Amino acid sequence: MHLDCQKFDSSTLKKWFLSEKRDLPWRETRDPYAIWVSEIMLQQTQVSVVIPYFERWMQAFPTIESLALSSLDKVIKMWEGLGYYSRARNLHEGAKFVLLEFDGKLPDSEFELQKIKGIGPYTVGAIMSFAFHKRKAAVDGNVIRVLARLFYVQDDIAKPKTVQTIREIAEAILPEDESWIVTEALIELGATVCTKKPKCMSCPLKASCKAFLRGEADVLPFKSTKITIESLFRNVAVVIAENRLLVRRCKADEIMSDLYEFPFIEAKSLTDDQTLELSQFLKLPLIKIRDLGEVNHSFTRFRVKLNAALFTAEKRKQVKDYEWLSMDELEQCAFSSGHRRLFHQVKILILDKFVIDLV
């Protein structure tokens, strides 16, 4: 155990948090389900983005039972745009498990919570602390950053051993009285003050922060692994025939599992006119109506440029792995982010009657 844990100034941090904390909808409840949903949404996603999604989700699925009994398609549609869709699938599976095993109520036991799909050590800590007011740390990237600086942890946080050390520190510094406030305060401090570029002069703990006192707050924590970003180029065909659009639902083993996309082909670079190549790919004669321009989107370690055009086909010929859906049907489908923007473009064109005579 870290020797300086007993010197941690929890009272100052607690006072700061109660004065400066952001007004967030999931902080207005102790409902374990709402806290579970918010914590899953907040993984890899900014708070400002999560708020409207959280509010819509809780309206659509106000209870674990309502989520468990909903279709996966509806769940994915409600998640559309948040990315990392495995989170939504895990929430859905987790809700079904909780309904079956725990009568629709989240347990307050660490052992039982760990059985639920998608709930890892951080989420266990968050639910136990914020919902059940148990003395339990919730260690996310924000807390790792705060404690690495505060206690001058120089080891590589990409290594599980270092993360475990920081988890032990987080558990050790929690006070017996109202520990859940300090747990949330650590997360808030990392999210708003002890950020990647630290705002040390605004920090309530700067007087005891070893990294700050050494002038090294901006170099900690140390992380060795770097994600290599790969660029992809795709030529996309938005094909309309007989008032229906050609799309495919990505398969379970694909990155965009359960999401809809328009036909596309990989390219080494974006090309000016892809009509012939796309026609051959789909085995469907295409007539180009107009360019839709370039759309950028990102997922996992990829940065993708979509070069899209709107095409028409004389008939809705069957295309392997694809289906022809109406605009109303597509409104209910969840698209990957770049393809969703293309769909909105086409909707506007159709509403403006730009292509009405061609379909």
- 219 belongs to a structural domain: no
Domain shared by 185 and 241, yes or no:
no
Of 94 and 299, more confident:
94
Q: Which two tokens stand for residue 6?
A: 């007993």
Report helix, strand and coil shares of the chain as percent, to nearest 5. 45, 15, 40
- What the block records as the tokens of 340 is 């969703």
* CATH label of the domain that carries residue 271: 3.90.79.10
126 & 258 share domain: no
Cross-strand partners of 248: 261
Nearest residue to 241 via CA among 188, 206, 283, 284 = 284
Q: For tokens 């409840």, name the residue.
A: 29
- Among the candidates 180, 213, 246, a domain finishes at 213
Domain limit, last residue, from 187, 213, 239: 213
Kindly report, residue by residue over 294-311, the tens digit of the pLDDT.
888 888 788 889 988 899
Indicate the average pLDDT of the chain: 90
Residues 191 and 236 in one domain: no
Does 220 fall in a domain?
A: no
Enclosing H/E stretch for 267:
strand 264-267
pLDDT band at 352 (very low <50, low <70, confident <90, very high): low
d(CA 134, CA 132): 6
What is the percent of the chain where pLDDT is above 90? 65
Q: Is 54 within the bounds of a domain?
A: yes
Angstrom distance (rounded) from CA 312 to CA 104: 49
Q: How confident is the model at residue 227 (pLDDT cuts 50, 70, 90)?
A: confident
Domain co-membership, 201 together with 349: no
Given pLDDT bands bounded at 50, 70 and 90, which one contains residue 269? low
Whether residues 65 and 202 share a domain: the answer is yes
**Between the CA of residue 99 and those of 66, 103, 203, what are the distances in Å?**
10, 5, 43
Return the active site residues: 39
Query: What's the rounded Cα separation, in Å, for the pair 4 and 78?
Result: 46
Domain count, the chain: 2
Is residue 178 domain-shared with residue 237, that is, in the same domain? no
CA pair distance 49, 79, nearest whole angstrom: 12
Verify that 143 and 267 share a domain, yes or no: no
255 and 176 both lie in a single domain? no
| Residue 223 located in a structural domain | no
| CA neighbours closer than 13 Å in the CB half-sphere of residue 165 | 17
Task: Tell whether 94 and 197 lie within a shared domain.
Answer: yes
For residue 358, what pLDDT is reported?
Answer: 46
Give the domain range for residue 189: 5-213
Instruction: Report how far residue 253's alpha carbon sits from residue 14's, in angstroms, rounded to the nearest whole number.
Output: 45
What is the average per-residue pLDDT within 322-331?
92
**Contact (CB, 8 A) for 75 and 67:** yes
**Mean per-residue pLDDT for 307-317?**
88
Measure CA 238 to chain center: 27
**pLDDT of res. 226:** 74
The pLDDT of residue 280 is: 85
Give the whole-angstrom CA distance, residue 39 versus residue 118: 11
- Using only C-alpha atoms, the chain has a radius of gyration, in whole angstroms, of 25
- The per-residue pLDDT for 136 is 94
Is 343 within the bounds of a domain? yes
